Amino acid sequence: MPRRNYDHFCSVSRALDVVGDRWSLLVVRELSSGPRRYSDLFADLPGISTDMLATRLRDLEQDGILTRRRVGPRAATTVYELTESGAALRPVLEALSDWGTPRLGTRRATDAVRAHWFALPLGHAVAQQLPQGSATVHIGDAVFHYVIDHDTITHHDGPATDPDREFHLRLDEAIEVALGAPLTAAQAEC
């Protein structure tokens, strides 16, 4: 089936032709912290069908947003990762996160949640505590880290090698911090 497009000679339209389909930017969100296997993507995108995920991965690969490669013993595992063009969408994700965070409201009983989904909004709170350096954040079993350099905040899967700070939060605390509550001394280790 041919892909739909807006047929507008407009930069926003052209961008949406590539990443405007449902699930596309959420796939990019999942890959923004590092490579992932198909099964990891499927597990962290509740509600997506396997057919839809396969279609989005194929379309994003064709558009140069992500690439897939074989890793592991005898190259038995395929991982997906952002290309340079895909990584350039990070400011778009940050802007959407900044815009969307005040709209979270109260969590509904039907809302899925993953701790690492708070990596984007938590980055600002971590940067207030650590204007430059690296910090590891633990939210339950989820672990990711930030590299903060002046006005740039990036997050990555797993702990930092030698973090300047560590933060330990429960999921409810991470949600509160994402919504604007400050990180506390009890949540931080130097």
Tell me if the domain spanning 11-92 has CATH number 1.10.10.10.
Answer: yes
The β-bridge partners of 139 are 142, 169
What residue segments make up the domains of the chain, in order of their start?
11-92, 110-189
Smallest CA-to-CA distance from 41 within 24, 58, 59, 53 is with 53
pLDDT at site 1:
59
pLDDT tens profile 66-113: 999 998 888 889 999 999 999 999 999 999 999 999 999 889 999 999
Torsion of CA 78, 84, 85, 87, to 10 degrees: 80
Q: Determine the 3-state secondary structure of 71 from DSSP.
A: strand
- pLDDT tens-digit series, residues 29-77: 999 999 999 999 999 999 999 999 999 999 999 999 999 999 888 888 9
Which CATH number describes the domain made up of 110-189? 3.30.1050.10
Kindly report the backbone phi and psi dihedral angles of residue 118, in degrees, each rounded to the nearest multiple of 5, phi listed first. -90, 5
Q: Which residues contact 57 (CB under 8 A, 6 or more apart)?
A: 27, 38, 41, 66, 68, 80
Rounded to 10°, the helix 119-129/171-178 angle is: 80
